[in-house]
A and B are shown apart, each in its own frame.
Chain A
Amino acid sequence: MKILTFRLGQFAVAALFITVLFRYALHISIGAGNWVGNSLCSIVYFVLMFFIGWYFGKKDYADNGIHDIGFRFHITTYIVCIGLGFLLYYVGWNTETPGSMAITALSWGIGLLVHFILFLMEQKRTIKGYAKDEIFE
């Protein structure tokens, strides 16, 4: 299966950019003790991440037709969000505590693992990542 695609790369770059912006806004907001701002940042971040995932995921499927039930995009999001969260904490930005981030990483990781199992089960329906009933038009 082709794993790295142009659209996935575009998504990763966009997710990286949005995550840095989110963490910076959170850094300012936490520094100012603005709890409404924190919640607002999180909501906007969620909406933006959902939108770019939907947009690039759709484009990726139209370009390549890879049947992975969104797993490649999910794991990319996990790596960007969790990885950057820890990185920026150690850089010195005000953000969640390492304990809180570890709990997020663990609980999300369990969700990711379930997604991975579903992805593996779905692969039985594919040939090299393409759904058997969608290969030939």
Chain B
Amino acid sequence: MSDKSIVSELLSAWEETYKKGQLTFWVLLALKESSKCVEDIKDFVENMSDGSMSCEEQSLYRNLRKFQHLEIVSYECKKVSKGPDRKYYHLTEIGKELFRRFTERNILIFTKKSINNLLID
């Protein structure tokens, strides 16, 4: 096996592990921007992550239902021109606080100059 293919395989394995738990971050980030329906959340996640994250609508619905019971998100129904009313989700106060504290502890650390310099080096 060549070095290149080993790196590719290792990268896939690492990314698979790394992406576990990432969907929540992207979903909450999407809702931090503005309230969205499931289709909009899916588009946001795929576009903003440059396609590195993908998600099934079914999986999003399951997660949003769970987050709603946990009072992380809430929704309101809005009328659309065609079909049934659509659910637009938004972050609750608990959701905002949870997201703020999570990003503070786990994401913003990468914006530190010393780490940033290492990353772009």
Chain A proximity mask over B1-33: 1 for CB below 8 Å, otherwise 0: 000000000000000000011011000000000
CA distance A130 to B87 in the complex (A): 23
Interface residues of B in 22-69 (CB under 8 A from A): 23-24, 59, 62-63, 65-66, 69
Output the least CB separation between A134 and chain B (Å). Answer: 9
Instruction: Tell me, yes or no, whether B115 is within 8 Å of chain A by CB.
Output: no
Chain B residue, CB-CB nearest to A2: B69
CA distance A2 to B68 in the complex (A): 11
Output the least CB separation between A99 and chain B (Å). Answer: 43
Interface residues of A in 103-137 (CB under 8 A from B): 127-130, 135-137
Contact B21 A137 (CB under 8 A): yes
Contact A63 B62 (CB under 8 A): yes
Interface size class of A (residues with CB under 8 A): 10 to 19
Query: How many pairs of residues, A versus B, come closer than 8 Å at their CB atoms?
Result: 27
Tell me which of B20, B59, B65, B70 contacts A135 (CB under 8 A): B70
Contact A137 B69 (CB under 8 A): no
Known A-B contacts A63-B65, A64-B65; A137 and B59 likewise in contact (beta carbons under 8 Å): yes
Instruction: Tell me, yes or no, whether A83 is within 8 Å of chain B by CB.
Output: no
Output the least CB separation between B64 and chain A (Å). Answer: 11
CA distance A64 to B40 in the complex (A): 22
CA distance A64 to B65 in the complex (A): 7
Instruction: Tell me, yes or no, whether A98 is within 8 Å of chain B by CB.
Output: no
Output the least CB separation between A66 and chain B (Å). Answer: 8
Residues of B within 8 A of A (CB): 20-21, 23-24, 59, 62-63, 65-66, 69-70
Residues of A within 8 A of B (CB): 2, 62-65, 127-130, 135-137
20 more contacts with CB within 8 A, not counting A63-B65, A127-B70, A135-B66, are A2-B69, A63-B62, A64-B65, A64-B66, A64-B69, A65-B62, A65-B66, A128-B69, A128-B70, A129-B69, A130-B66, A130-B69, A130-B70, A135-B70, A136-B21, A136-B23, A137-B20, A137-B21, A137-B59, A137-B63
